[in-house]
Each structure stands twice: as structure tokens, then as C-alpha cells.
Amino acid sequence: MFYYFILYKPFEVLSQFSRDGDKRTLQDYCKVPKDVYPVGRLDYDSEGLLFLTNDKAMNVALLHPSKAHARTYLVQVEGLITTAALQQLEAGVEIALDGIAYKTRPAKASLLKEEPALPERIPPIRFRKNSPTSWIELTLTEGKNRQVRRMTAKLGFPTLRLVRYQIGKIRMDGWNSGELRSYSKKEIESLLFTQS
């Protein structure tokens, strides 16, 4: 039997079930069948939507580079981000992956006029009165290691908070940090693979 779950992974939780020192893992938040695993990864210091399943065909369909599956992130960066930086994020940024130069695929980037309504991060981002920040929305069709952080840092706007806000049509509006939701195969196929 196949199972399909989406978890709002909290900050400082590993995207795995096995223990690694004293770090929190998915088993602290998920009671799922033993053969269910996350599809892709979300870094320890990132939050947001994480898809879990035991359906290997769906795993391949989501992760294969030819599928160019869209994922949207809400990103708080240090500094007042410029129009030029947003344009560069959209055009592609040259980052280093394992010491090799790599230009990211074209993306969609926009400045958010207001801070998004997200659950409070624990611990919260340290507030600095003399250090302004910006929130951007960034949609990627690839998921290289620490890609968003590498992209914003390269342009001089280090990432402070990173939240995967949307996968396909699933948005985390109204979700609580640590919340797990279950879906049928039909629901997941409609939400993840049907074009808007």
C-alpha cells in the first residue's frame, strides 16, 4: 500500500528518520509506516513543506531533473534587496557546487511588500535595529545543495530564514510548524502534477 504525506518541517530538524547525535529528526514529528521516506531534502536550518511517501515511481517523477518541478520559497535576506539582484536571481546565478562552477536555472523572484504570515520560528531570527532585512519569494525548478542560500549570498544578501512555502499546488497557508497531513494518491497527483 502506498502512503502520501506532507510535513511542515520545523527549523533545526533533519530531513531523515535516523538519529544523528542529539539533533531532532522526522521521527520526532511523524508517526508513519517504516518504509515511508522524504522525497528530496530540506536542510536542517530550513523549514517548510516536505513530501514523504513509499511510492518510488512518484519519487522519481518529482526528483528527475527533466521534470523541472516547481518549488516556491519565502526567503528573508539580510539587507534591502535590489531590483538588480532580483533580476540576477531570475536569470541565474553562478554558484560553486563541490568546488565546480554551476549556473542556476532561470527562476522567478519577487520582493514581498510585507513580512509573510508564517508560524514563529523557534528560536526566532535575532532582531537587529540597524540591520534591515527583506523578504523575497523565489520559485525554482531544481534543488541543488543549499542552492537558495548560495544564490542570495553570492549576490550579497545572506539568507536569514528559508521556508519552502509551496510544492506544486500545495501551499502552507494555515499550517502549523510540525503539522503532518495525509493525502490519497489521486489528491497528490492532482496537487503536485497538474498544471495551474
Active-site amino acid positions? 43
Q: Is the peptide bond before 123 cis (omega within 30 degrees of 0)?
A: yes
Q: Cα separation of 10 and 25, whole Å?
A: 10
- The β-bridge partners of 166 are 72, 171
Measured between alpha carbons, how far is 130 from 120 in angstroms, rounded to an integer?
A: 22
State the Cα–Cα distance between residues 154 and 85, nearest whole angstrom: 10
Burial 69-98 (b: 16+ CB within 10 A, else e): bbbbbbbbbbbebeeebbebbbeebebeee
Kindly tell me the sign of the dihedral angle through the C-alpha atoms of 124, 125, 128, 134: negative
DSSP type of residue 22: T
Q: Measured between alpha carbons, how far is 44 from 27 in angstroms, rounded to an integer? A: 14
> Whole-angstrom Cα distance, residue 192 to residue 28?
26
Pairing of strands 159-167, 47-53: parallel
